[in-house]
Structure 1
Amino acid sequence: MASKESQAIKDMYRAWTEARLNPDPIDPLGHIDHWGDVTAEPRAVDYLEVDANGVPAMWVVPKGCAADRVILCLHGGGFVGGSRYTHRKLFGHLAKAVGARALIADYRLSYQHPHPAQVDDATAAFQWLLDQGFRAERMAFAGDSSGGGLCLTTVLRARERRLPQPAALMLISPWSDMELSGASYETNHEKDAFFYREVVQGLVDAFLGKEGSAKDPLANPLYADLSGFPPIYIQVGSDETLLDDTRLLEGRARKYGVEVRRDVFPDQQHTFQMAAGRAPEADEAIRRFAAWVAPKLGLTVRESAAAAAIDSRDRAAAL
């Protein structure tokens, strides 16, 4: 059974459904700006806004982190919302648990800039990190929902441009199926609080625009050649309609010999990790990500555990 703290995620999505059915005529997507309200503030983390090759971005720097290890973070929001501001706390918790710094890239949104603007921006931010002297083998990508799918297509675009690949991908409920073919749209229809088929179809239409194709590998990684991809760790909630996106992605990755792990968290909604610092399920998910990725970045378990211990002390002090 889900914890009462994780209920905040479901309540938030129910409010989004209400806002969709009764939109504010002045600011119909304004509710998304408060997405980060469900995340607790991670302490001992500094934030610095930068320009990453023309892409607005934010450094997330936990106290005592390894300065030469980086997580490139791509936020969710269906490509129509979300930002470095809505997600800075989530990625702050992740960076702190790993013991690395993070860079959140604010790619262009699809209503004004349909595909492939998003993958171009994410790749530009990756190139910027490389230009700053960060080594790809000491770098991981992390993203939630649309940002999770974008992590995959950014690796594809980087490969096209003969750029090195990151060491690992951490994907939170990645949106990867632009054809909405998963049976979980029906089987989880009554459990998911917002991401109904018609909602996601609207996001697809905005993302692809008039000329995009749902079979384009740079939009839909389920059509991509994933051979040689870095290891992938996927987390997903059992109650979300995008559950089958992750099952299909896992199968595609395994077909190409990619190391992949997929954890399904019982009774959880889409991107439940946004409740980090409040809900035990979210904190456990972050812990699993950190334990998995730290050695892939050349960090010892001791270094990663030390960062997590700082976070635990700060959380206890806040209670």
Structure 2
Amino acid sequence: MASEVLAELVAAMRAGGVDFSDIQKGRADLEALLAGMPADEGLAYERGELAGVPVLRINSGPSGAGAMLYLHGGAYIAGSTQGYRGLIAEIGKALGLPAVAPDYRLAPEAPFPAAVEDAVAVYQALLDEGIPASRIVIAGDSAGGGLTLATLVKLRAEGMPLPAAGFMISPWADLTCSVATMESKAAEDPSLDRAGLLGGAAAYLAGQDPAHPLASPVNADLAGLPPLLVQVGSAEILLGDSMLIAERAGHAGTHVQLEVWPDMIHVWHSFHFMLPEGRQALDAAGTFLRARLGA
């Protein structure tokens, strides 16, 4: 049974959300919303650059332990490591890894496949720093969850060493937005709607095929990928994306663990500071992923 806090969160979301009909205003409104999320002030947040991509480094795990490469959400058109730093830090702490989060290029200024290119470049830079692939986890939420899967597919295609695991929170991995839960879960989801996602997809794709396997990685060959953990709420229109990932990864012989959390909303982990299920999901992810990190 969901906590009482969840009802309060849902009511607040239904009272007003971010409108991306004006992308610049939507970006500013999202950043203002995310600014209210707490971040562990006991950690260091350092700005830098890897492979020409701006990154945020967080000492969320011991130096030399490896790295979590985190890809933030925002429908490929918004979001930043500044806004998501609190969530990134908590996931890094759960994994016991320092976090490296790129501010990958956003659409419409930099359409597909810019985000994939930036993620791959930063991953290569981590390898160049001497971090073993077996000590890296790639993780992301929402669009960043889909980007996590697309990045793994691209790394495999390029013959690069693959990370220890991939972790996806409420991933958006089908930019055609054609899964049945886009309609069947519409009344339950207080934060996303199909029309808004299609708008983000149009800006990101800039006329390219939405079914392309690096844009919609549910359409990719998922064989040979590292173990995957997918966490999604049952009250999300993106539930179907997660189910498709699990089905197609499992069919391809890839280790995949799908967790559907009853009554949970999109990226409920963000509310770990007030929502018990958010903290529980982070702890569960940490247990799964730590077990897969190589020595």
Q: 1:112 maps to what in 2? A: 109
Dislocated runs of 4+, deviation >6 Å: 23-26
Residues 79-90 of structure 1 mapped to structure 2, 5 A cutoff: 79-90=76-87
Distance in 1, matches of 2:82 and 2:244, equals 31
Aligned to 1:286: 282
Distance 1:278 1:67, change over 3 A: farther
Q: Give the partner amino acid of 1:276.
A: H
- For structure 1, the residue ranges without an aligned partner over 5 or more in a row are 300-319
Distance verdict in 2 for CA 1:169–1:38, change over 3 Å: farther
Aligned to 1:314: none
Q: CA deviation at 1:193?
A: 1.4
Shift of 1:172: 0.2
Amino acid at match of 2:225: F
1:193 aligns with 2:190: yes
- Scaled by the length of structure 2, the TM-score of the pair is 0.94
Aligned equivalent of 2:136: 139
Identify the structure with bigger relative contact order (alpha carbons < 8 Å, sequence gap 6+).
1
Q: CA RMSD in A?
A: 2.0
What is the aligned partner in structure 2 of residue 46 from structure 1? Answer: 44
One-letter code aligned to 2:50: A
Instruction: Identify the residue that residue 169 of structure 1 maps to in structure 2.
Output: 166
1:14 deviation in Å?
3.0
For the 8 Å contact 1:40–1:275, the answer to whether it is kept is no
Give the Cα–Cα distance (whole angstroms) in 1 for the partners of residues 29 and 66 of structure 2: 34
Whether the 8 Å CA contact 1:9–1:269 is kept in 2: the answer is: no
What amino acid sits opposite 2:117 in the alignment?
A: D
% identical equivalent positions: 35
**2-structure distance, mates of 1:49, 1:30:** 20
After the TM superposition, which residues 10-21 of structure 1 pair with which residues of structure 2 at under 5 Å, given as runs?
10-11=10-11, 13-14=13-14, 17=17, 19-20=18-19
Select which of 224, 229, 235 maps to 2:231: 235
Q: Is the 8 A contact 1:6 1:272 kept in 2?
A: no
| Residue 218 (structure 1) shift | 0.9
Taking the TM superposition and a 5 Å limit, the aligned residue runs for 1:295-314 are 295-298=291-294
Structure 2 alignment gaps of length 5 or more? none
Tell me, in whole angstroms, the C-alpha distance in 2 between the residues paired with 1:29 and 1:191: 25
1:100 aligned counterpart, secondary structure: coil
Q: Aligned in 2, Cα 1:12/1:106: closer, same or farther, shift over 3 Å?
A: farther
Aligned residues of 2:164 and 2:294 also touching (Cα < 8 A): no
CA deviation map 1:162-201 (0-9, x unaligned): 2110110110001011121211111111111131111111
Q: Deviations over 1:76-111 (max 9, x none)?
A: 000011111111110111111221111011100111
Paired positions, count: 295
